[in-house]
């Protein structure tokens, strides 16, 4: 562990992009701010590149704090300054940290706190694509024993915890029937594992990539459906066959996690929603979809949006990773942070099958 640095090395987004054209990244240094009594300075070991970062950098989705600021909110690292009980500890920085003071926080809904801080968005100019980052100390999730390289735990900060919060919102219990649309995607690969770890009975993964679907069978999915080029009717028939094989009803009690964030995925999820079912909206798109919401009434069903993850859940997700119940290694790869521009571009072009975790090499 290094000590407190004299300055922070960082890759700032000095200009945001729009309409698919990338913004501008610049390597620079910024001062180490004076830490408040409730702050900590974390030396970054790794920071994951999330779809959200790309939407800021390419699509004109606005960050709360305007550029120049550093992106990156999937961070694992080591505390080098702050409360003494934390100094020297390896930690995961939650992607969103509630204010813990407002009415929303008081209701236990701090993941949607309107005053929440998110590195690389609303935490001043600070983000994870840096050598160090100052963060609120209270919500840090301590990793007592490293079972994987520290940088790898970065994906727990968002890609793995978001599915956990989604599962909590769905009230996943033992024996539950689960469908994951986008089961082969960046969040879906954890969604299937998380629900299985929480005791789901039957997990059906749906996606359009056959090899990745087959891989999903090793990571939480009991059955998979390749929806590529299929009419809904054919997909429904395939689903009904699976239900028959599994000895479960096809139209009662399914909890559907929509992780694609694209219209075809949403349409499949909505089409499969049935009696006393739940559709949990995990993937994001601005595009509207057409649906007779009174079907929710006829089904006594629910549609539930889920945002981020409460910091209090992080230790539970970390435990699932440590126990091997949720595997992260097969779904990530590390790169030196100096390749950030290239990694952004390649990921934006859809080149990667795995989460990219950038390791500082300033």
H-only helix segments in 79-229: 103-106, 161-170, 188-197, 210-216
Q: Which is nearer to its own copies, 96 or 154 (CB)?
A: 96
Supply the minimum distance, in Å, between the C-beta of residue 30 and its own copies.
30
Q: Which residues bind its own copies (CB under 8 A)?
A: 103-104, 107, 109, 111-112, 114, 252-253, 258, 261, 266, 275-276, 281-307
What does the block give as tokens for 202? Answer: 């039957």
Beta carbon nearer to its own copies, 46 or 110 = 110
- Angle at the Cα of 70 (from 64 to 72), degrees rounded to 5? 85
Least gap, CB of 206 to its own copies (angstroms):
17
Q: Residue 160 or residue 306: which is nearer to its own copies going by CB? A: 306
Where b means 16+ CB within 10 Å and e means fewer, 216-255 reads beebbbbbbbbbeebeeeebbebbeebbeeeebebeeebb
Nearer to its own copies, 115 or 217 (CB): 115
Q: How far is the CA of 285 from the CAs of 55, 99, 234, 258, 355, in angstroms?
A: 11, 27, 25, 11, 20
**Residue 360 CB, nearest distance to its own copies (Å)?**
31
Distance of CA 246 to the CA centre of its chain: 30
Between 166 and 183, name the residue whose CB sits nearer to its own copies: 166
CB of 101 to its own copies, least distance (A): 14
* Unique residue bearing structure tokens 């739940």: 278
Pairing state between β 254-258 and 278-281:
parallel
Q: In the chain, what is the straight-line distance between the N-terminal and C-terminal CA atoms, in Å?
A: 16
Q: How far is the CB of 217 from its own copies (least distance, A)?
A: 27
Ramachandran region, residue 66 (left: φ > 0; alpha: ψ -120 to 50; beta: rest): beta
Which residue's CB is nearer to its own copies, number 2 or number 286?
286
333 and 327 in contact (C-beta within 8 Å)? no
The distance of closest approach from Cβ of residue 269 to its own copies in the complex, given in angstroms and rounded to an integer, is: 9
Token reading at 20: 């698919």
| Residue 79 burial (CB count, 10 A) | 24
* Closest to its own copies by CB, 107 or 316: 107
Min CB(175)–its own copies separation in Å: 11
* Measured CA angle at 9 (ends 8, 12), to 5 deg: 110
Report the nearest approach of its own copies to the CB of residue 78 (Å): 31
Q: How far is the CB of 199 from its own copies (least distance, A)?
A: 16
Closer to its own copies at the Cβ: 317 or 358? 317
User: Is the CB of 307 or the CB of 362 nearer to its own copies?
Assistant: 307
3-class DSSP assignment, residue 25: strand
- Residues 317, 194, 217, 179, Cα dihedral to 10°: -160
């Amino acid at each position: 562990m290094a000590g407190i640095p004299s300055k922070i090395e960082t890759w700032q987004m000095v200009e945001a992009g729009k309409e698919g054209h990338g913004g501008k990244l610049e390597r620079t240094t910024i001062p180490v701010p004076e830490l408040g009594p409730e702050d900590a300075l974390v030396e970054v070991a790794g920071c994951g590149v999330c779809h959200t970062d790309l939407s800021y950098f390419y699509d004109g989705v606005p960050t709360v704090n305007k550029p120049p600021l550093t992106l990156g909110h999937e961070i694992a690292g080591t505390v080098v300054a702050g409360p003494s009980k934390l100094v020297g500890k390896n930690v995961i920085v939650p992607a969103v940290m509630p204010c813990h003071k407002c009415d929303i926080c008081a209701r236990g809904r701090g993941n949607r706190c309107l005053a929440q801080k998110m590195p690389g968005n609303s935490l001043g100019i600070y983000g994870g694509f840096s050598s160090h980052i100052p963060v609120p100390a209270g919500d840090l999730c301590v990793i007592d024993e490293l079972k994987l390289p520290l940088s790898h735990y970065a994906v727990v900060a968002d890609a793995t915890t978001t599915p956990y919060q989604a599962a909590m919102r769905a009230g996943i219990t033992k024996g539950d029937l689960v469908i994951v649309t986008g089961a082969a995607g960046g969040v879906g690969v954890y969604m299937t594992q998380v629900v299985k770890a929480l005791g789901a009975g039957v997990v059906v993964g749906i996606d359009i990539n056959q090899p990745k679907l087959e891989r999903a069978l090793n990571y939480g999915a009991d059955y998979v459906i390749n929806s590529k080029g299929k009419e809904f009717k054919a997909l429904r028939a395939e689903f009904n066959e699976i239900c028959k094989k599994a000895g479960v009803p096809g139209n009662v009690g399914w909890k559907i996690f929509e992780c694609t964030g694209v219209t075809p995925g949403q349409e499949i999820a909505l089409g499969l929603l049935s009696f006393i079912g739940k559709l949990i909206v995990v993937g994001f798109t601005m595009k509207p979809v057409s649906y007779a919401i009174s079907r929710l009434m006829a089904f006594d069903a629910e549609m539930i949006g889920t945002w981020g993850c409460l910091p209090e859940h992080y230790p539970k997700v970390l435990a699932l990773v440590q126990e091997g119940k949720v595997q992260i290694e097969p779904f990530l790869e590390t790169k030196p942070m100096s390749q950030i521009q290239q990694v952004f571009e390649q990921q934006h072009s859809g080149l990667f099958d795995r989460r990219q975790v950038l390791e500082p090499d300033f």
